[in-house]
Every structure is written in structure tokens, then in C-alpha cells.
Amino acid sequence: MLLKTKGVSINIEETLVGKVTRLPENLTSDSFLLVDDEIQAYPDKAHLGILSKQNDIYDLDNGSVVLKIPTLEHLTEGDIVSVGADGNIHTLYRVDSYHNTLLATERCNSNCLMCSQPPRDKNDVSFLYGIHKKLIPLIPKDCVELGISGGEPTLMGELFFDMLEKIKHELPDTEIHVLTNGRSFAWDHMAYRLSQVDNNRLMLGIPVYSDYYQVHDYIVQAKDAFYQTIAGLHNLARYNQRIEIRVVLHKLSIPRLVKLAKYIYKNLPFVEHVAFMGLEYVGYTPHNIDKLWIDPMDYNKELGEAVEFLANKGLHVSIYNSQLCVLPENLWQYARKSISDWKNSYMPECQSCSKLEDCGGLFTWNLKKHSEHIKPFTTNVLELSSGIE
Ligand code: SF4
């Protein structure tokens, strides 16, 4: 899915953020006019700028314009974009999607072996926050869910809490899901400050990869990460924050998976949700594939035991990023269609599968690396004939 395009900018000095519209009558001071074909007349209503596929626009009148954009088809009425002085147009929010996420920072204090978005050590916090400050008030008030990811969002420092407060103010009915490694919350004042945001629609997704500190620290490539994350989880629980534990399934986490499930039940019983997640073949994973790869079919025994242990203890458990044909049927009840629409794909053979509608499919990048056991379900002839009168 296209989320970025580029043209030639004119009269743009700083990054602009606005909604897009193809209808001149809908223009407002915070929206861009999209021009696919010939522009009829330069708009007389206030607007942020014009984004055009054309090579030229007459009567520019010092307005902000991006010309020669190869395509605008990916943009829907009401989508929100940022437009840079360099002519880059990034889609920040898609009105037709439930999977919108704000990138807090690309910096991280961990360096996980299977990180899907490898950290970059650049000081991007104030630039990105400047964009989010403009974006948040433009997001439709009926937005169901908004993600915040990184990097490690808490490295924004006080701006992290500022951002959460802004979101709560502008979007009080939106579920907020923050992906964090949780280590910053080992410091009590961070957990306390989060509690001051006082948003019961806020959930933190925090990874724990093993019950044994050396394995967790090795997977995240950071000394003391396990102790910090566990201390952070307890601090957050003391302040009554909502927590989801995320466990990525691979060759290093599988051997102690059942022990980890028992550890979670005994030591972290306050968590609201535990998600077991299939491996993404992107970011660092292809480079570390020999350390990480195990065919999902080959860990069904451990996964089943861990999931059923926690579910039987009354915890809410999910399996993400897995395909129904690779999971035993008793685990289907835990499988969610978890992959964001813009990175979700199916194999060619899925088109003939009778479970296509119920199956979450694959990450687009996992088309290159997936279970050897993906195989379409065929409609049972007996099932069919039982419906014939
Ligand atoms: S064949 Fe495709 S659609 Fe069918 S269960 Fe497997 S992955 Fe899902």
C-alpha cells in the first residue's frame, strides 16, 4: 500500500499538515486540494496548499503547491498528510482504516534481534512531535483506535505525556494503544506521570520474551532489560495502568514459552491481555533468521500449552499473525485478524481457501518467509450436501 509520494514543492518552507479533499467547496484553512486532472480555477477559499499531478499551475498567487506528483489515487477524502519542503507527501492518517499509528521516535534503548523497525539514533523527537501536534486535532473525533509506536515512545520524555494528554483532550473516545518496551517505567516517577494522564482508554503493549533474564536480555540485546521491564510492569500495576504482554514466537522464545506463561500468571496476574505473536520477516529478522526461524507448525505444542494454561486461569489470550491452516483447530478461538490492513497479504493459493474470510493471512513481507504448511481448506462435500433439501 502506498503511503508516501513525492513531487516538486513551491512556496513550502516548513512541514505542513492537513486533510486532503478533491472538492474545492470543502476546502478549509487546514486542508489541501488534490488535483488529479486539469485545475479549473485557482480556489478562492482559504486552504493550506494544492497537491497536483500537473507540471504547472497558473495564477499561483504565492500559495503552497506540490507539482508533478506521480499519483494521488491512494488518498481518500479526509485523509491527513504531511507535506515537506522537499516535496515529500506522507500519509499520516487514513480515514478508512482502523490501523492508524503515530511514530513517536525512531530512537530506542533496546535493539531486539527481530525488531521490525530497527532504531535509528537521530534526534527526531521535536520534529515528529511538531507534526503530531498539528495532526492530533485534525483526526476525526470518531476515530476508534490509535496506535503509538517507535522506537521507544517513552524516550520522548515529558513530550510523551504531553502527546497523550493532547490525544485524550482531542479524542476522548478513542482507544489508545502504546507499544513500549516498558523499561522506562522501572523509574517510579514515569509510571506516576503516566497515571496523571488519567486515560482509561490507554493500554500499554509491553514485550516479555522469557521468564529467564538472560534469554530476554539476549533477545532485546540490552543488559538489565528484563529486570527493568518487570519493575516497570509492577510500577504500572501499582498505578492501575492497563497492560498487554506481547510475546514474539521464535526459536529463542519457544523453549521456555510454557514457563513464561506460568511466570506471567504467577508474577504479572494484573495484565489485561497476553498476545502471542508470529515473527515478522522484516527489519532485523532477515539478518538474524538462522537464530530466529522455526516453522510455526513446529511450535504448536508449546504455543497450545502456553495459551491454554493462561486461558484456563482466566486471562484474556490472543494469537496474532498466524494462519488458520497452520494452527490446530482448538487454538482458532484465540487467533485474531491482527495484521494492519496496509501490510496484510495472502498467498495466491489462499484465494481458493474456504477459510479465507476468517483467516488473518500474512504480513506482506512474510510472503518471502512463511510456514511450509500453508494449505487451503477445501469445502467439505458432506457439509455442502447437508445443506441441500
Ligand atoms: S490457505 Fe491462506 S487463507 Fe487459508 S487458512 Fe491458510 S493462510 Fe489462511
> What type of residue sits at position 295?
D
Residues 317 and 310: beta-carbon distance below 8 Å: yes
Ligand 1: which atom is nearest the Cα of residue 377? 4
Asked if residue 37 belongs to a domain, the reply is yes
If asked whether residues 153 and 293 sit together in one domain, one would say yes
Q: Torsions phi, psi of 371, nearest 5?
A: -60, 145
Asked if residue 382 belongs to a domain, the reply is no
289 in contact with ligand 1, CB cutoff 6 A: no
Instruction: Quote the radius of gyration of the chain (alpha carbons, Å).
Output: 23
Q: Give me the pLDDT at residue 38, please.
A: 72
Q: Give me the pLDDT at residue 40, please.
A: 62
Query: Closest Cα partner for 298 from 274, 327, 275, 318?
Result: 327
Query: Closest Cα partner for 153 from 144, 162, 145, 142?
Result: 162
Give 29-98 as a DSSP string: TTEEEEESS---S---S--SEEEESSS--S--TT--EEE--S--TT--TT-EEEE-TTSEEEEEE-TT-S
Structure confidence by residue, pLDDT tens digits, 61-79: 778 999 999 999 999 999 9
Q: Give me the pLDDT at residue 387, please.
A: 42
355 in contact with ligand 1, CB cutoff 6 A: yes
175-to-73, 164, 207 alpha-carbon distances in Å: 29, 11, 20
Query: Closest Cα partner for 84 from 27, 159, 147, 4?
Result: 4
Ligand 1: which atom is nearest the Cα of residue 346? 2
Mean of all residue pLDDT scores within the chain: 94
Task: Tell which of 92, 108, 138 closes a domain.
Answer: 92
Q: Torsions phi, psi of 335, nearest 5?
A: -75, 130
Domain of 249, CATH number, reads 3.20.20.70
If asked whether residues 138 and 51 sit together in one domain, one would say no
Asked if residue 179 belongs to a domain, the reply is yes
Q: Which domain holds residue 348?
A: 100-367
Domain total of the chain: 2
Asked if residue 293 belongs to a domain, the reply is yes
Taking the CA of residue 284 as centre, how many other CA atoms within 13 Å lie in the half-sphere pointing to its CB? Answer: 16
pLDDT band per the 50, 70, 90 thresholds, residue 59: low
If asked whether residues 321 and 213 sit together in one domain, one would say yes
Ligand 1: which atom is nearest the Cα of residue 347? 2
What value does the mean pLDDT take over residues 178-205? 98
pLDDT band per the 50, 70, 90 thresholds, residue 388: very low
Interval between CA 347 and ligand 1 midpoint (Å): 8
311 in contact with ligand 1, CB cutoff 6 A: no
| Whole-number Å distance between alpha carbons of 42 and 52 | 12
Task: Tell which of 60, 92, 124 closes a domain.
Answer: 92
Structure confidence by residue, pLDDT tens digits, 307-319: 999 999 999 999 9
376 in contact with ligand 1, CB cutoff 6 A: yes
Structure confidence by residue, pLDDT tens digits, 76-114: 999 999 999 999 999 999 999 999 999 999 999 999 999
If asked whether residues 49 and 132 sit together in one domain, one would say no
Interval between CA 344 and ligand 1 midpoint (Å): 13
41: pLDDT strictly greater than 70: no
339 in contact with ligand 1, CB cutoff 6 A: no
What percentage of the chain exceeds 70 in pLDDT?
96
pLDDT band per the 50, 70, 90 thresholds, residue 1: confident
Structure confidence by residue, pLDDT tens digits, 262-282: 999 999 999 999 999 999 999
If asked whether residues 15 and 104 sit together in one domain, one would say no
Task: Tell which of 48, 67, 92 closes a domain.
Answer: 92
Residue with the three cell numbers 512463511:
370
Structure confidence by residue, pLDDT tens digits, 200-236: 999 999 999 999 999 999 999 999 999 999 999 999 9
Query: For residue 226, what are the contacts with CB-CB under 8 A and spacing of at least 6?
Result: 208, 210, 212, 213, 216, 217
What value does the mean pLDDT take over residues 280-292? 97
If asked whether residues 38 and 106 sit together in one domain, one would say no
359 in contact with ligand 1, CB cutoff 6 A: yes
Q: Torsions phi, psi of 74, nearest 5?
A: -75, -10
Per DSSP, what are the bridge partners of residue 101? 147
Q: Give me the pLDDT at residue 379, please.
A: 74
Q: What's the distance, CA 229 to chain centroid?
A: 21
Asked if residue 386 belongs to a domain, the reply is no
If asked whether residues 88 and 115 sit together in one domain, one would say no
382: pLDDT strictly greater than 90: no
If asked whether residues 73 and 127 sit together in one domain, one would say no
Asked if residue 377 belongs to a domain, the reply is no
If asked whether residues 138 and 81 sit together in one domain, one would say no
If asked whether residues 107 and 70 sit together in one domain, one would say no
Q: The whole model's pTM is what?
A: 0.93
Asked if residue 376 belongs to a domain, the reply is no
Asked if residue 249 belongs to a domain, the reply is yes
Domain of 31, CATH number, reads 3.50.30.10
324: pLDDT strictly greater than 80: yes
335 in contact with ligand 1, CB cutoff 6 A: no
Interval between CA 388 and ligand 1 midpoint (Å): 27
If asked whether residues 79 and 124 sit together in one domain, one would say no
Q: Give me the pLDDT at residue 44, please.
A: 81
Per DSSP, what are the bridge partners of residue 52? 35
If asked whether residues 57 and 178 sit together in one domain, one would say no
Structure confidence by residue, pLDDT tens digits, 122-140: 999 999 999 999 999 999 9
231 in contact with ligand 1, CB cutoff 6 A: no
Ligand 1: which atom is nearest the Cα of residue 362? 7
Residues 283 and 116: beta-carbon distance below 8 Å: yes
Q: Which cell is 294 given?
A: 522455526
